[in-house]
Amino acid sequence: MKVLHYNLYEKGHVGMCNLVMSLECAVLIAKLTKRDHIVFYGNKDVSSASSPTTIFDLYDINFSHEVADVNEINQDIPSLPCGLHNTCLYYLQKPTDKFVNGRANLVDLSLYEGIDNFRTLNNETLAFYSYLFFFQPRARKELLEFVKDTIKPKQKYLDIANSIVTSVKNAYPEGFNSTSVRRGDYLWIPSAKNKEIGGDRVVETLKANFPTNELLMVHTDEVDHSYFKPVRDEYSNIFFVQDYIREHFSELNNIENGLVSLIVGSHSNKFVGTMYSTYSAYFQRYRLYNGLAEDFRFLYPQHHSMNLVNGRFKEEIAHGTNTWNRIKLDESQRQIAFWFREWPECYPNYHYKVNPFISIYPSFLSDKECQYILDIALENKLEYFQNEHRNRININLSDPIMKGIVDRACERLMVNPSLAEASVQVFTQHVGGKTGLHVDSIYEDEKGRRLASVLFYLNPDKYQGSEVLLPNAGVKIVPDKGMMVSFPLLNEYNEQDEMFAHETTVIESGESKVMFYYSIKEYPDNQVVR
């Protein structure tokens, strides 16, 4: 039997989410090295628990395992050469420099595949798997689905949470928005500066993201509710979910309460969390798991070098292949990128599906990439074209920025970039215009038929309306800046699929709409079929 001997995270704050992160890293290491069993060492009660509670009391681990005393670990068996901090783990295929992001330690897990027993070096096993592991493209989806399905909250907490969500949505059919306001221990972390930030600062970001007439659910460890007076002054419908849980499920201790609160919040329409909080990170993660859009917004920056716009990181580096190298981080932030926030790469497909075939990728384009294409439209006077119908230009993929976008999109779609059409179409629509119901052409030439459409939205923050409707699929898409949407054009019988007929609502006001799209073809440019 092949066994992984694994030290649970113990250095620093041993909170619930930190321990879940450690568990997730364990099962992925075990999976990649073909382990049959994991022995966990150093199992302790979750920090601040009001009654004895371990992570194994809260979560099910669907992997053969046992828990042992830390003193029982055999120091003589081989170990990983380093802790997980400042480390990148991979299997055979070495990661790119951009993925590594300056980390000092690279470990090829394939070297441990043939060893019956090995161990982690120490208890520094805290990391988001999205940042720690470099997955080969073909295996990536399988591995991320594996960790998602292997470690889950126990069913009793899911049941309680679902009962609360049902009750809330019965009272508020339109749903609710959530914010997690971490105070507690964060008041005493000098770099976090939470002690200096009042409720008036919090409400600024909330108002930029949530309409004040919608239900706001607050998840917080702040016991002095006077802190939230500025929020209450703006939001008439406010719900402190942890207070509700204490009142109606008094048998739960404070850690169980927090877990239920987290699960409830993962069903919110929108979410804004607290940076540096792994608890907020799991809101964001579980929302993606629930198929909800998530662009990882935060109440305020935790460092002077961070640039947030309405809670979103401003992506200032146009061509970064991973989220962490598309935003500006100073050296201290780069060093803690393994835990200071979750990354969208945590989700099996980097995106969410609104049905089995239509996929949405929030914030796929950086602000710089959007502006680059908008400038092209402006140069060609497309933005001001006074016509209800499309006015468009083609941009050849000889343009290096456009080619970089298309190549990255194809990679995300798991499609060879050579199957992309040789040019993209940029078009505008004026206020008052709309697009009627239609199906995208499967036009066939020497490169075969078009198989799929890929669309990108550049400036929906500048106009109102133009929602995308797919009536046959029962889907409505509200465009967001930088969003990518993809859907196929052929059905299972290899015929034009009417399910993906689509139209847009009228552009009600604001500036002209600008977007672009390209198609995926059957055959690459270098494989002409007659």
**Under 8 Å CB-to-CB from 377, ≥6 apart: which residues?**
383, 393, 426, 428, 458, 514
Q: What CATH architecture is 359-521? A: Sandwich (2.60)
Spatial separation of the C-alpha atoms in residues 378 and 434, rounded to whole Å? 20
**Under 8 Å CB-to-CB from 405, ≥6 apart: which residues?**
365, 369, 456
**What 3-state DSSP class applies to 93?**
coil
What ranges make up the beta strands (E) of 177-304? 177-181, 216-220, 238-240, 271-273, 297-298
Spatial separation of the C-alpha atoms in residues 177 and 55, rounded to whole Å? 28
User: pTM of the full predicted structure?
Assistant: 0.72
Nearest to 127 by CA among 26, 284, 22: 22
Give 381-447 as a DSSP string: T-TT---SS-EEEEEETTSHHHHHHHHHHHHHTT--GGGB-SEEEEEEE-TT----SB-----EETT
Number of neighbours of residue 446 by Cβ within 10 angstroms: 11
Query: What is the model's pLDDT at position 385?
Result: 41
Query: What is the model's pLDDT at position 190?
Result: 54
Q: Are 150 and 62 in contact (CB under 8 A)?
A: yes
Per-position pLDDT tens, the chain of length 530: 999 999 999 987 789 999 999 999 999 999 999 999 999 999 999 988 889 999 999 999 999 999 998 778 888 999 999 999 899 999 998 988 888 988 999 999 999 999 999 999 999 999 999 999 998 766 888 899 999 999 999 999 999 999 999 999 999 999 999 999 988 766 555 555 566 778 888 999 999 999 999 999 999 988 888 999 999 999 999 999 999 999 999 999 999 999 999 999 999 999 999 988 999 999 999 998 887 766 789 998 877 677 788 888 876 665 556 788 778 777 777 778 888 889 888 887 666 555 667 888 888 898 889 999 988 887 775 544 444 455 777 888 888 898 999 988 887 787 888 888 888 888 888 888 888 899 888 876 666 788 889 999 999 988 999 999 988 888 888 888 999 999 888 776 667 888 889 999 999 999 888 999 999 887 765 443 32
Please state, in angstroms and as integers, the Cα–Cα distance from residue 65 to each residue in 23, 133, 273, following that order.
11, 22, 33
109-121 CB burial, b ≥16 within 10 A, e <16: beebeeeebbbbe
State CA 225 to chain mean position distance.
30
Tokens for 13, please give them: 């704050």
Q: Are 471 and 501 in contact (CB under 8 A)?
A: yes
Domain ranges of the chain: 3-136, 155-314, 359-521
Q: Which residues pair with 396 in a beta bridge?
A: 423
Spatial separation of the C-alpha atoms in residues 215 and 124, rounded to whole Å? 40
User: What's the CATH number of domain 155-314, 1.10.10, 1.20.120, 3.40.50, 1.20.1110?
Assistant: 3.40.50
Query: What is the model's pLDDT at position 527?
Result: 40
**Under 8 Å CB-to-CB from 149, ≥6 apart: which residues?**
62
Nearest to 88 by CA among 119, 120, 134: 134
